[in-house]
Structure 1
Amino acid sequence: MNLIDISEADKCSKCSVCVESKFVRKPFKPVTQRCTELLELIHSDLADFKNTLSKGGKRYYISFVDDYSRYTKIYLLRNKDEATEMFLKYKCEVENQLDKKIKRLRTDRGGEYCTNFLKDFCEKNGIIHETSAPYTPQQNGIAERKNRTLKEMMNAMLLSSGMPDNMWGEAVLSACYILNRVPHKKLDKTPYELWKGFAPNLSYLKVWGCLAKVAYPDFRKSNIGPKTFDCVFIGYAQNSAAYRFMCLLDNSFCEARNAEFFELIFPFNKMHDSLAETSNNLDTSSSSITTIDEIRRSKRQRIERSFGPDFLTAFIVQDLDRINDHVVSAYLVEEDPKTYVEAITSIDSGFWKEAIKNELDSIMTNHTWI
């Protein structure tokens, strides 16, 4: 049999048509090498919330993830131009706290990362800025996956608590705070522990969006009346042993330490349930009205029937004893004549002639015709 020699086929040149018609993306190899020190490699990515502004007017957040510990820090941004500023802020803070230097920064090719200022800054400070290939976010997978996890947590927190969408900023900050205190499956330690050097205290974590009774400050306390005001728990204060709250009275933000939490009560969820119930009732009522209005009409042609001029009079005379006076009057009402001819030729012509005569006499007497 004349079979193709495989050894010879391997030596054949590639077919350009086959490549053009069958080309698929190259597989991404899993990263096996991981950094062994803090700040050796920092991953960064920008998350865009498009038209959903946060309560503080922010539209984006930028994340910085340490490759070794997976410890994450995020900043809320009004516009993308603030990304470079936030990296400088992050660099200054972490290098000072850890007494180490950032060696590499890995990002995608977004315009916020490819500025001349950031390029010059990295060169002057000895930071290698690694960028992913065009349209290949997989090469910045650590930051991309971290942002996805943060968004999923944020979305779940908003839905479960019933809080409005413009609270996404507080929700994503709280999600990041919690995620740093969750053990990493590969290291069996929390990012917080690897970053700080000691295990975190989890006893003060609370359910996001729950009701909280916050104590009035001492200068506002009185001997009579409530000692607390109602709030919603929205997160943890930065660089302070306090919680963040939103006051239910005026939706203002505050930070406080003394509060009592009701972790099974979600004020905004109750509001949504109440509004939904009202909306359902209105829909049902509207549906009922529509049903009443839509009376079924017969398509058969109707023929007017005349029972003669004496029918109405006979009907009234025969049933006069059991018809009210106002009903009888309604049946007997006739339209007034619109012209002189109609008046003098009608059944009541005598009445109309007398009325015309009286009107003319009145005009002549009062000389209103002059």
Structure 2
Amino acid sequence: MKHTENCIHHWHRVLGHRDEEAIQKMVRDDLATGVKIRKCNVNHDCECCMEGKMTRLPFPKQTGAQSTRMLELIHTDVCGPMNTVTPGGARYFMTIIDDFTRFCVVYFLEKKSEVPDKIEEFVQMAETRFGKRPAVIRADNGGEYRSRRLGSFYRQKGITAQFTAAYSPQQNGIAERKNRSLVEMARIEHEHYTMDYKYWAEAVNTANYVQNMLPTRATEKIPYEAWYTRKPDLKHMHIFGCSAFVHIPDQKRTKLEPKGMKLTFVGYSDSQKAYRLVDLATNKIYHSRDVRFLNESKPLMKNSRPTELVEYDWNLEIHRDVADEPNVEVYDEEMPLSSEGEDDFLDCSQGTQTEDSRSETDEDPETPVTVRRSERCTKGLPPVRYREAIGMVKSNVPEPHTIKEAMESTEKDLWKAAIKEELQAHEENGTWKVVPLPAGRKTIGCKWIFKRKEDEKGNVVRYKARLVAQGFTQKYGTDYDEVFAPVVKQVTFKALLSVAHQRKMLIKHIDVKTAYLNGELQEMVFMRPPPGCDFGDSKLVCHLQKGIYGLKQAAHIWNKKLNAVLQRLGFKPSENDSCLYSKRNSDGTMSYIAVYVDDLVVVCNSEEEYEVIVRNLNNHFKVTSLGDIRHFLGIRVTPRIKNYHSLHGKYY
């Protein structure tokens, strides 16, 4: 090397802009000759190096939440498109993470343009459940997050939108890492049982459900507990992709057909207390709580020809649809997971319906039952005394799924009597008024659900017809607004039992008959005539005045009505649990009422006091006294001696 100058900066340029520390080390270790370096400003900046070697500045490491309260900051990101389209048509999934709790909600999308819909849905859910909306929503610079519609929605709701700088996904690192972790867990779940990749959404959905149940490094808390304020119970969880046997309800099979069917477990229902299982041969999704798991078995792999996802629900109660009761506490209460375009529905035998395919009348218009005005709704039907003839009858005939099937069955007179009784109850209750449909308004559907009531020996003791609204046809903001209704917490009930035990108080159980029919509607909801009813004019519809089973807001307005009545009777809700009411009597003693939907537990000091409470409630509702408490909230309560009770854990 030819020596020219002794300045390090000169040799920096001579040696191809090698970093100066490396040059000094070379001289210090005598690795070359001809180089002598004098002291100078070694921190001199070389503009050529800055231009040619520019790298990104390091991102600060985040060790915890940036927020101090729930919904203060929300992170969101879209992952996809996936190589395989799900049976429901999804190619993307979208995560929404609360920064403070790290609770994550997943939505599945067919296209990115659905992002504004899902953000609006999440905000509405937060407002309904917590009474507040997100303050800041942070997303990347994707066009789906910068739409005019979404910007208008943010301004309307007072939400601040934050966007990452261009080509800086690290600024949205929480959402990016969540997407990566969900994909990794879903990939492992898939590989464990070598399932078809078209079920990737089910795997992602389950992965998110599991991760919400586990503590995070950032907060050292469990997201589920921070979000729902209760510890998660993991005993219901099973291995994704394992085989399982599902009980087939009696009304879905004949006497000689198998009672169970082998399916594949793919997750947890987001709308009810049930598991999601798939028939790999038909792509049909089933929701059921009556499941026996084979956790070490591999799924039954078959060639799946159909591409459409069809859902069945085998746990539908005639009087209580969990999907329409947001107050009922399920495994993942309000989480809108894995909703790949699937519809809510009331009757599992009919599959799903779309808005376009839904007809004005869901039943055959030629059914034999013809009902006109309210005073003629029961004309031509047999009297209720038909029920007296069925005391010891056992029926092998499946329960009808439609009014047409009911009218064509050998038990049609009994079903007619049941329909008559139900319509009379609605008429006495003033559930609706028959009016012309106002211009510009749409109707919601309704249908009949038929059920035989049996005694403990299996003898049919009653035929029941329940008219239910098809709540899945309601439109948010038009047909309903608030839907949340609280229920008493199990820990509250246990504490109440402890108080009753210590004070030697009576513990009684009350059931409110047709509770949802007592709620008073504030919204203008119009329902099509009950199937089989003829109002004499096709333009006449039912203008609902009160709640009816199946309505989205049915649980909310019933709870609101019950709360008003109890406070009128002198009971005050607890600050810690709004479904525990207390009243101080004139003699200084206390009375308590715990509320779980239409079940009331009364704790009082004497039979006389209890009779007064029942009588007062009967002035507002039709209530049935069930006597001493036997079971409630999954707990069986057994009296040992007078006024003493013991808990026996869950009975189901």
Asked if TM exceeds 0.5, the reply is: yes
Matching residue of 2:51? 20
**Aligned partners of 2:99, 2:106: CA distance in 1, in Å?**
15
**Aligned partners of 1:66, 1:165: CA distance in 2, in Å?**
29
* 1:127, distance to aligned residue in structure 2 (A): 1.1
Q: Do the aligned partners of residues 38 and 249 (structure 1) sit closer, same or farther apart at CA in structure 2, a change above 3 Å counting?
A: same
* 1:248, distance to aligned residue in structure 2 (A): 4.4
Q: Do the aligned partners of residues 112 and 87 (structure 1) sit closer, same or farther apart at CA in structure 2, a change above 3 Å counting?
A: same
Matching residue of 1:42? 74
Matching residue of 1:193? 225
**Aligned partners of 1:97, 1:23: CA distance in 2, in Å?**
49
Name structure 2 gaps, 5 residues minimum.
Answer: 1-5, 7-36, 304-652
* 1:167, distance to aligned residue in structure 2 (A): 0.2
Q: Do the aligned partners of residues 38 and 181 (structure 1) sit closer, same or farther apart at CA in structure 2, a change above 3 Å counting?
A: same
Pick the aligned partner of 1:231 from 257, 263, 282: 263
Say yes or no: does 1:60 pair with 2:92: yes
Q: Deviations over 1:141-186 (max 9, x none)?
A: 0000000000001111111111101000111111111110011234
Q: Report the identity percentage.
A: 35
What number of residue pairs does the alignment pair up? 267
Secondary structure at 1:213 match in 2: strand
Matching residue of 2:475? none
**Aligned partners of 1:194, 1:204: CA distance in 2, in Å?**
20
**Aligned partners of 2:300, 2:81: CA distance in 1, in Å?**
22
Matching residue of 2:150? 118
Matching residue of 1:71? 103
**Aligned partners of 2:253, 2:118: CA distance in 1, in Å?**
40
Q: Deviations over 1:198-221 (max 9, x none)?
A: 101110001111111101012024
Contact 1:103-1:127 within 8 A present in 2 as well: yes
Name whichever of 96-105 and 135-144 sits farther off: 96-105
TM-score between both structures, scaled by the size of structure 1? 0.68
Contact 1:236-1:244 within 8 A present in 2 as well: yes
Superposition pairs of residues 118-137 of structure 1, within 5 angstroms: 118-137=150-169
**Aligned partners of 1:26, 1:248: CA distance in 2, in Å?**
50
Pick the aligned partner of 2:297 from 265, 269, 283: 265
**Aligned partners of 2:271, 2:284: CA distance in 1, in Å?**
20
**Aligned partners of 1:110, 1:268: CA distance in 2, in Å?**
41
Pick the aligned partner of 1:205 from 237, 240, 252: 237
**Aligned partners of 2:169, 2:221: CA distance in 1, in Å?**
28
**Aligned partners of 1:108, 1:162: CA distance in 2, in Å?**
34
Secondary structure at 1:90 match in 2: helix
* 1:50, distance to aligned residue in structure 2 (A): 3.7
Matching residue of 1:29? 60
**Aligned partners of 1:221, 1:122: CA distance in 2, in Å?**
51
Aligned residue type for 1:217: P
Say yes or no: does 1:4 pair with 2:35: no
Contact 1:212-1:260 within 8 A present in 2 as well: yes
Contact 2:123-2:134 within 8 A present in 1 as well: yes
Q: Deviations over 1:73-109 (max 9, x none)?
A: 0110010000011000011002221122210010000
Aligned residue type for 1:232: T
Contact 1:162-1:269 within 8 A present in 2 as well: no
**Aligned partners of 2:199, 2:211: CA distance in 1, in Å?**
18
Q: Do the aligned partners of residues 63 and 186 (structure 1) sit closer, same or farther apart at CA in structure 2, a change above 3 Å counting?
A: closer
Contact 1:161-1:268 within 8 A present in 2 as well: no
Name structure 1 gaps, 5 residues minimum.
Answer: 272-370
Structure 1 or 2: more helix by fraction:
1
**Aligned partners of 1:143, 1:248: CA distance in 2, in Å?**
32
**Aligned partners of 1:241, 1:161: CA distance in 2, in Å?**
25
**Aligned partners of 2:242, 2:88: CA distance in 1, in Å?**
21
Say yes or no: does 1:220 pair with 2:261: no
Q: Deviations over 1:219-248 (max 9, x none)?
A: 024443421011001111112000011124
CA RMSD of superposed structures (Å): 1.9
Matching residue of 2:199? 167
**Aligned partners of 2:83, 2:191: CA distance in 1, in Å?**
19
* 1:16, distance to aligned residue in structure 2 (A): 2.1
Matching residue of 1:246? 278
Aligned residue type for 1:69: T
